[in-house]
């Protein structure tokens, strides 16, 4: 297991693995998946112990987006039968957030569909942040409103936002295949604006859209360079009524390999299992807690997750514990003095070596085979086993924000 020993050593030192090493993790066989999880689990426990951070999504504005992101049920022309509503009022959003906070969430993610906010939208979200923080002093608030214009990140920061989410989603090389109405560079620019304004950046990916292993490694290396504090890993939920409805490409083992690769490349950042957790990991979810230190509680933006109670039971049964409001998520070296949720310090996630290192949560905007290089880990000789289409596990959200029904937190 030379490969895994090397990756553990590098992860503990925050040293960037080589691309071939990252590719080799994705290429390991199903027979070796427990070894891969155990190795990446050492890195996860070194930086985050057994803590699991809970995040709670509030979809402030659902559907009717003019952008054409192929994976998104809220996209232009989507035939997915999702909830569609315009901006929730601050007290409605605050009420929705309260359910997640009561369930143990320490971060609320305020998400709105659309290309990006107008200045009036930033005002609305500022009022919403205030309404939530007035009721819950210690809560972390992350905004996810799409592409930011100059000055908007600063205004959100002044309004009390702690973080901003904008995912890169996929590699620069394939970005144009999934979205034509904005570019990869636009997305990078928004993450950089959030960083520059002093917001804790949250940016991640979506796996399962038909991308290659090289694409996955590309996007994770790009994320490491952008150095977000949190990296949400979404697994595509192939919504009926979207262009990617037939893309059932993921097995639970593949999801575990992807999460392990992300952990090795970004060892000391908050790696969050985002949308698609229940659909693709299924009964293997508890194993994934050895890789990620963060999940969403309850429902996603437009689809339903498992019950919040089931999330909490899973965490306890797997021997992990919910991170408390008073605990700092990130390792000390990433936390600047006085920053609530661990805004990154001067050093990035393993920024020595010159590398630098957030929900399509079903995917909204925010939430918005290489060779076995140095190792004796057996590399898959054949293609991935075909994944099973589990449309039975995809349930459109019909409760919580934007409805009269109680959320499932």
Active-site residue numbers? 65, 69, 72, 109, 142, 202, 272
365 scored as a contact of ligand SF4 (CB under 6 A) = yes
Nearer to ligand SF4, 274 or 287 (CB): 274
Nearer to ligand SF4, 149 or 336 (CB): 149
Could you give the CA distance from residue 307 to residue 252 in angstroms, rounded to a whole number? 20
Min. distance of Cβ 368 from ligand SF4 in angstroms? 4
- Phi, psi (rounded to 5 degrees) for 187: -70, -45
Is 365 within any annotated ligand binding site?
Answer: no
Could you give the CA distance from residue 137 to residue 397 in angstroms, rounded to a whole number? 29
Is 72 within any annotated ligand binding site?
Answer: yes
As to burial, measured by CB atoms within 10 angstroms (0-12 exposed, 13-18 middle, 19+ buried), residue 61 is buried
Nearer to ligand SF4, 202 or 365 (CB): 365
Tokens, residue 391: 């449309």
Is 65 within any annotated ligand binding site?
Answer: yes
Cα–Cα–Cα angle for 270, 44, 358, rounded to 5 degrees: 15
Name which position in 33, 54, 72, 168 contacts ligand SF4 (CB under 6 A): 72
Crossing angle, helix 184-196 and helix 213-226, to 10 degrees?
A: 30
Tokens, residue 246: 């037939």
303 scored as a contact of ligand SF4 (CB under 6 A) = no
Min. distance of Cβ 60 from ligand SF4 in angstroms? 11
65 scored as a contact of ligand SF4 (CB under 6 A) = yes
Give 160's contacts (C-beta < 8 A, 6+ positions apart): 126, 129, 130, 133, 141
Name which position in 6, 28, 59, 74 contacts ligand SF4 (CB under 6 A): 74
**What are the E-state strand segments in 62-194?**
107-112, 140-144, 163-165
Sites for ligand SF4 among residues 172-231 (CB under 6 A): none
Could you give the CA distance from residue 282 to residue 119 in angstroms, rounded to a whole number? 41
Nearer to ligand SF4, 258 or 363 (CB): 363
116 to 155: interface string for ligand SF4, x by CB under 6 A:
------------------------------x---------
Options 71-79, 247-255, 329-337, 344-352: segment touching ligand SF4 (CB under 6 A): 71-79
166 scored as a contact of ligand SF4 (CB under 6 A) = no
Options 38-46, 118-126, 364-372, 379-387: segment touching ligand SF4 (CB under 6 A): 364-372
Could you give the CA distance from residue 256 to residue 30 in angstroms, rounded to a whole number? 10
Residue reference for tokens 């993450």: 191
Min. distance of Cβ 164 from ligand SF4 in angstroms? 14
Min. distance of Cβ 230 from ligand SF4 in angstroms? 18
Give 123's contacts (C-beta < 8 A, 6+ positions apart): none
Min. distance of Cβ 343 from ligand SF4 in angstroms? 24
Tokens, residue 132: 């939530």
Min. distance of Cβ 124 from ligand SF4 in angstroms? 17
335 scored as a contact of ligand SF4 (CB under 6 A) = no
Which residue, among 222, 233, 216, has the nearest Cα to 191 in the 3D structure?
222
Other beta carbons within 10 angstroms of residue 313's beta carbon come to 13
Tokens, residue 120: 């009036």
Binding-site members for [2Fe-2S] cluster are 109, 142, 202, 272
Give the interface with ligand SF4 as residue ranges (CB under 6 A).
65, 67, 69, 72, 74-75, 113, 115, 146, 363-365, 368
Query: Which residues belong to the annotated binding site for [4Fe-4S] cluster?
Result: 65, 69, 72
């Amino acid at each position: 297991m030379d490969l895994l020993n090397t990756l553990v050593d590098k992860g503990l030192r925050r040293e960037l693995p080589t691309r071939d090493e990252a590719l080799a993790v994705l290429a390991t066989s199903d027979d070796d998946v427990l070894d891969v999880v155990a190795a990446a689990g050492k890195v996860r426990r070194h930086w985050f112990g057994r803590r699991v951070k809970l995040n709670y999504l509030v979809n402030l504005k659902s559907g009717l987006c003019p952008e054409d992101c192929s994976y998104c049920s809220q996209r232009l022309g989507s035939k997915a039968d999702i909830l569609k509503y315009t901006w929730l009022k601050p007290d409605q959003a605050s009420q929705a957030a309260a359910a997640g906070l009561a369930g143990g969430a320490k971060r609320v993610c305020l998400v709105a569909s659309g290309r990006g906010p107008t200045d009036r939208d930033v005002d609305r979200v500022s009022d919403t942040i205030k309404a939530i923080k007035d009721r819950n002093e210690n809560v972390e608030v992350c905004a996810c409103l799409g592409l930011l214009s100059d000055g908007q990140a600063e205004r959100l920061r002044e309004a009390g936002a702690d973080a901003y989410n904008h995912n890169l989603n996929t590699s620069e090389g394939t970005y144009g295949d999934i979205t034509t109405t904005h570019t990869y560079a636009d997305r990078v620019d928004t993450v950089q604006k959030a960083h520059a304004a002093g917001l804790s950046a949250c940016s991640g990916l979506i796996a399962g859209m038909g991308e290659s292993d090289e694409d996955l490694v590309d996007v994770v290396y790009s994320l490491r360079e952008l150095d977000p504090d949190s990296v949400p890993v979404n697994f595509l939920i192939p919504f009926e009524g979207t262009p990617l409805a037939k893309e059932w490409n993921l097995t639970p083992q593949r999801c575990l390999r992807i999460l392990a690769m992300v952990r090795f490349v970004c060892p000391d950042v908050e790696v969050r299992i985002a949308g698609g957790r229940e659909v693709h990991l299924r009964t293997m979810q508890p194993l994934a807690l050895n890789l990620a230190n963060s999940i969403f509680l309850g429902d996603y933006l437009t689809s339903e997750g498992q019950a919040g109670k089931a999330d909490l039971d899973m965490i306890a049964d797997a021997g992990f514990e919910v991170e408390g409001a008073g605990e700092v998520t990130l390792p000390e070296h990433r936390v600047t003095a006085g920053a609530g949720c661990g805004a990154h310090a001067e050093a990035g996630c393993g920024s020595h070596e010159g590398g630098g290192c957030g929900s399509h949560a079903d995917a909204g905007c925010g939430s918005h085979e290489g060779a076995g290089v140095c190792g004796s880990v057996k590399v898959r000789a054949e293609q991935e086993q075909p994944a099973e289409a589990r449309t039975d596990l995809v349930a459109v959200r019909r409760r919580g924000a934007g409805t009269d029904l109680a959320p499932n937190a």
